[in-house]
Amino acid sequence: MIERLGLVSNALPAQAEELAALGGVLGLPLLLGLLGGLARPARGWPVAVVGVLPLLALGWLFLQVAGEGRVWTVPLGPLSLYWRVNGLALLMLLLTQAILLASALYAPTYLRVDVQAPARRQAWFWPLLGLLATSLSLIWLAADLLLLYFGLELMGLVAVGLMLLPGKADALVAGLRYLLLALIGSLAFLLGIALLLGAWGRLDLAGLTEAAEPGPLLWVAVALLSAGLLLKAAAFPLHAWLAPVHAAAWTPISALHAGLVIKASFFIALQLWLVLTPRSAPAAWLVGGLAAAAVVWGGVMAWRAAKLKDMLAWSTVSQLGYLLLGFPLLVGTDSTVAAVAWEGTWLQLAAHGIAKAAMFLAAGNLVLATGKSHLRELAGASRRFPLALLSFGIAAISLVGLPPSMGFTAKWLLLNAALMAGQWIWLAVLAAGTLLSAAYVFRVFRYSFVEDAPSLDFRPVPWSMDAVALVLALASLLLGLVAEWPLSLLRAAGGES
């Protein structure tokens, strides 16, 4: 499992070229963000032109590792920082850049047409976006706890900052709550790291794998780390902050938050479990129980939600439950099960990231067009703005996990893993999740097909906003059929074992 994470123990000092590639992936988004803050693009095309640069940097990084996972050390004064570049990290980086690029393309028109926020506040958007990209990339690439801590904190603060941008009272209150939770989470995380450092004297993950011995200290440390991370990931009992945060934020920010930010905490948590306690199945079952509760509770709440964005936020809680099922399926299971569950988990992460981002953008378009945020007020939407609804629907297919979407393929793998492991209960959880998600998603369509709606005045949605949402949605649909491609990337660089 450690090999799958790319944490090989023979770390090499990074060469100049490798460092440059790494620096490009981490630094370019930040640089472009600052540039964006200065230039404040009003159209999508300059963003599209410039946004290709980080992708090129990523390609360069891919060439550097050339088919096998590497761990590099980079000295920083007396410290040495560990970086890991493997298939998983590359896949996550690609996902991050894709969703970020989509949000960035969506944002100029959105800010101009929908928000009409003061220029000063819009100027903050771009640097924060760049910083978010950097912190996320840092988290995917980090192979020691110091870097992870740094990345996590940076991401948390930037996310709070982005939440606050609308500047309205509800956004501020939600942001305040989010800030406090993020701070609590980071304290728990720091305490956990302190214990690990005190006990085994090292922070690099590969080293900790060998050094860590089971015992009360390890359990307490992992419990603290997981509590902090699961709070930030909005895992089941710690999820209450999510819905108000999403409802109040700007649309592209909600998309990023649900698609990536929450996933980063989950990513770290799963990684730490696999590194520190790879055999503790009972504890993983506990997380599985939380996952089941998340799937059902999130689904029910999404079903009952009256507002479109609330529904999406609750559905994030529910879908995160699918991801948390990765714990019981990966921790303490045999290697054939783990191989399937491994692919299923990351595919699910990518699927939900893309699909949820697409749904948020499409929902943003619907809200912009109707000027209303309630589901009920979507009556007649299927005739008036079919494109936004189509994007929403296509992404919803992936969310529900119907073929041929990415969500379906991921669910297929998870179901396979659950059956192979003999953990029948997760079958029921996944089944319940599917039905619930179908129930809440089709509520939207039910309203949109109503024909005898009073014809209110509608605002036209700029085509570029529709196009971004549609492209993301189509990606989530069609990548399911060619899932072998992202999965081969996952396997390619040091994932075989």
| Span 70-89, contacts to other proteins by CB under 8 A | 77-79
Q: Does 402 bind other proteins (CB under 8 A)?
A: yes
Q: Which of 120, 282, 335, 451 touches other proteins by CB under 8 A?
A: 451
The minimum distance between CB 175 and other proteins, in angstroms, equals 6
Q: Does 197 bind other proteins (CB under 8 A)?
A: yes
- Which C-beta is closer to other proteins: that of 24 or that of 228? 228
Question: Rounded to an integer, what distance in angstroms lies between the CA atom of residue 102 and that of residue 62?
Answer: 21
Q: Which of 12, 45, 49, 167 touches other proteins by CB under 8 A?
A: 167
- Which C-beta is closer to other proteins: that of 101 or that of 143? 143
Q: Does 193 bind other proteins (CB under 8 A)?
A: yes
Three-state secondary structure readout of 314-357: HHHHHHHHHHHCHHHHHCCCCHHHHHHHHHHHHHHHHHHHHHHH
Q: Which of 21, 100, 139, 203 touches other proteins by CB under 8 A?
A: 203
- Cβ 324 vs Cβ 287: under 8 Å: yes
Footprint on residues 407-446 left by other proteins (CB under 8 A):
408-409, 412-413, 415-416, 419-420, 427, 431, 434-435, 438, 442, 445-446
The minimum distance between CB 310 and other proteins, in angstroms, equals 21
Q: Classify residue 285 as exposed, middle or buried by CB count within 10 Å of its CB (0-12, 13-18, 19+).
A: middle
Q: Which of 35, 115, 211, 217 touches other proteins by CB under 8 A?
A: 217
- Which C-beta is closer to other proteins: that of 52 or that of 180? 180
Query: Cα 198 to chain center, whole Å?
Result: 31
Q: Which amino acid is at 13?
A: P
Q: Which of 118, 216, 282, 454 touches other proteins by CB under 8 A?
A: 216
Residue 418 tokens, joined: 């659950």
Residue 126 tokens, joined: 């771009």
- Which C-beta is closer to other proteins: that of 113 or that of 190? 190
Footprint on residues 338-397 left by other proteins (CB under 8 A):
340, 343, 382-383, 386, 390, 397
- Which C-beta is closer to other proteins: that of 144 or that of 310? 144
Stretch that binds other proteins, among 62-70, 189-197, 239-247, 262-270 (CB under 8 A): 189-197
Q: Which amino acid is at 35?
A: L
The minimum distance between CB 227 and other proteins, in angstroms, equals 10
Question: Rounded to an integer, what distance in angstroms lies between the CA atom of residue 338 and that of residue 349?
Answer: 16
The minimum distance between CB 494 and other proteins, in angstroms, equals 18
- Across-strand partners of 212? none
Footprint on residues 8-67 left by other proteins (CB under 8 A):
none
How many residues lie near other proteins (CB under 8 A)?
78
Footprint on residues 219-278 left by other proteins (CB under 8 A):
219-221, 223
- Which C-beta is closer to other proteins: that of 75 or that of 371? 75
Q: Which of 40, 74, 153, 372 touches other proteins by CB under 8 A?
A: 153
Question: Rounded to an integer, what distance in angstroms lies between the CA atom of residue 203 and that of residue 146?
Answer: 7
Report which of 125, 98, 106 is spatially closest to residue 365, judged by C-alpha positions.
106
Write the binding mask 107 to 146 for other proteins: x where contact by CB under 8 A, - elsewhere: ---------------------------------------x
Q: Does 483 bind other proteins (CB under 8 A)?
A: yes
Q: Does 295 bind other proteins (CB under 8 A)?
A: no
The minimum distance between CB 47 and other proteins, in angstroms, equals 27
Q: Which of 13, 67, 198, 371 touches other proteins by CB under 8 A?
A: 198
- Which C-beta is closer to other proteins: that of 39 or that of 184? 184
Q: Does 161 bind other proteins (CB under 8 A)?
A: yes
The minimum distance between CB 363 and other proteins, in angstroms, equals 19
Q: Does 211 bind other proteins (CB under 8 A)?
A: no
